[in-house]
Structure formats: C-alpha cells, structure tokens
C-alpha cells in the first residue's frame, strides 16, 4: 500500500514499549511523527531515536507525539533503550512499536523489497489532528534523517493551515513568509494591513503573521 499526502493514516493496534496501543486512541487530537528504523542495536538508528527523545519539549509545544517502529520485538526495544539513553544522554519518552510480524510496517509500506526485503527503511509519516497524512519521507538505511527538518515542516504546516501564507525555501519559524498566490491584492490588504514586498506579482513577501 502506498500512502499519499491527504490519505487517511490507517489505524492499527500494536504492542509497544509503553504497552498495547490503538494508534488513533493513543494519538487523540495531536499531530504524530510516525517513523520506522531498520533495526535495533544499530548505530544510525541509535542516534536518530536519541535525538527524537532530545526533542521531546519541541514536539510537546507543537502538540506532536512521536512514535517509532521496527520489525524487532518490544523486548529488544526495551533492552536497546538503555543504550540509546546512555550514549545519547537522554530519556526515551515515546513508544516504540514491536512489529516482528511486519503487520504495521506493511500497512504503512515501510518495507521496500528492492532496498531490503525484511527490514523497514527509514520512513516518516507526519499525521495531522484529523489523522490525515501530511508528509512522507523515505531515506535509505545508511543515511540518518534530519529531525530538525521534521520540526521545521511541522512549523510550516501549522502556520500555513491557519494563515493564507506559504513558506519559502529554507524558511525557519519567525522568518518572512509568502502570501498565498490565490489571494488577490485586495484580499491580501485586508489580511496583511502592514503590507508586503512585491518582488513579483506572484511573489509577495510579508512578516510571519504568528510573530506579530
């Protein structure tokens, strides 16, 4: 199954390091960063899960819950967590799904047989408060992901969901944004009374409305 942007993220029940969960019940009205890693007790994965734990407060302030999965067992995850915490100087405070029968990994298309027919690749699904898939990422096993980028995309999506703006290349929270191209100048004048810089008629730059 290939999940695409805008699709409903499928619900599932699973065993995790925090007990049995129903994904929707666990997630409730938050956003979720649901990500797979290839294997427990591997170096890149150790740094990724450690950094996700380090970002706990950043996720919390954005109403985001993190949850990881691999085809290892919950028992393996629990013994690996000690290594993550010790080597990455953090406390792993999010659940890790044990998926030895690949039920969840298959549901989300996290196994790419031409890369590896048994292990999950490095997938990320960002799921919004309505359980819609809003972002997908797929990285190879040899490349650790940039979890600061995941936060940046969440900032952009949360801002652009509630304001008629889009965010430019390499945008960071608080920086100038772009007025939605669908908005006429007359409409924009009502929403952005402080005005904008019209670089081109289709490229109108204004202050981040959430920082004013």
Rounded to whole angstroms, how far apart are CA atoms 106 and 16? 17
Closest to ligand BEZ by CB, 114 or 212: 114
Tokens of 5: 């942007």
Rounded to whole angstroms, how far apart are CA atoms 10 and 23? 9
> Judged by CB under 6 A, does residue 205 bind ligand BEZ?
no
> Judged by CB under 6 A, does residue 170 bind ligand BEZ?
no
Closest to ligand BEZ by CB, 30 or 42: 42
Q: How far is the CB of 84 from ligand BEZ (least distance, A)?
A: 12
Tokens of 8: 């409903």
> Judged by CB under 6 A, does residue 135 bind ligand BEZ?
no
Instruction: Using CB under 6 A, pick the residue from 26, 32, 36, 38 that binds ligand BEZ.
Output: 38
Determine the interface stretch with ligand BEZ among 13-21, 27-35, 43-51, 169-177 (rule: CB under 6 A).
43-51
Q: Examine the residue annotation and report whether 132 is marked as an active-site residue of this protein.
A: no
Closest to ligand BEZ by CB, 45 or 66: 45
| 74: Cβ contacts below 8 Å, ≥ 6 apart | 15, 16, 17, 96, 97, 98
Q: Point out the catalytic residue in the list 45, 71, 104, 179.
A: 45
Q: Are 69 and 110 in contact (CB under 8 A)?
A: yes
The SS3 assignment for 157 reads: helix
> Judged by CB under 6 A, does residue 95 bind ligand BEZ?
no
Tokens of 118: 């048994």
> Judged by CB under 6 A, does residue 44 bind ligand BEZ?
yes
DSSP state letters, 72-115: S-HHHHHHHHHHHHHHHTS---S-EEE-TT-HHHHHTT---TTT
> Judged by CB under 6 A, does residue 45 bind ligand BEZ?
yes
Contacting positions for ligand BEZ (CB under 6 A): 38-39, 42-45, 141-142
Residues with catalytic function: 45
């Amino acid at each position: 199954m290939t999940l695409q942007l805008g699709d409903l993220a499928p619900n599932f029940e699973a065993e995790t390091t925090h007990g049995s969960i129903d994904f929707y019940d666990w997630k409730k009205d938050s956003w979720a960063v649901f990500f797979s890693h290839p294997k427990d007790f591997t170096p890149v994965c150790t740094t990724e899960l450690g950094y996700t734990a380090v970002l706990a407060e950043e996720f919390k302030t954005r109403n985001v819950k993190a949850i990881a999965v691999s085809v290892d067992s919950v028992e393996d995850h629990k013994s690996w967590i000690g290594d993550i915490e010790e080597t990455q100087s953090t406390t792993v405070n999010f659940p890790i799904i044990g998926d030895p029968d690949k039920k969840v990994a298959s549901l989300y298309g996290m196994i790419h047989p031409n890369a590896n027919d048994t292990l999950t690749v490095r997938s990320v699904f960002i799921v919004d408060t309505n359980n819609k898939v809003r972002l997908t990422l797929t990285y190879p096993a040899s490349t650790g992901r940039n979890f600061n980028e995941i936060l940046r995309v969440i900032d952009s999506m949360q801002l652009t969901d509630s304001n008629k703006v889009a965010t430019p290349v390499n945008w960071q929270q608080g920086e100038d944004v772009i007025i939605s191209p669908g908005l006429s100048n007359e409409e924009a004048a009502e929403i952005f009374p402080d005005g904008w810089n019209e670089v081109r008629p289709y490229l109108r730059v204004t202050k981040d409305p959430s920082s004013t």
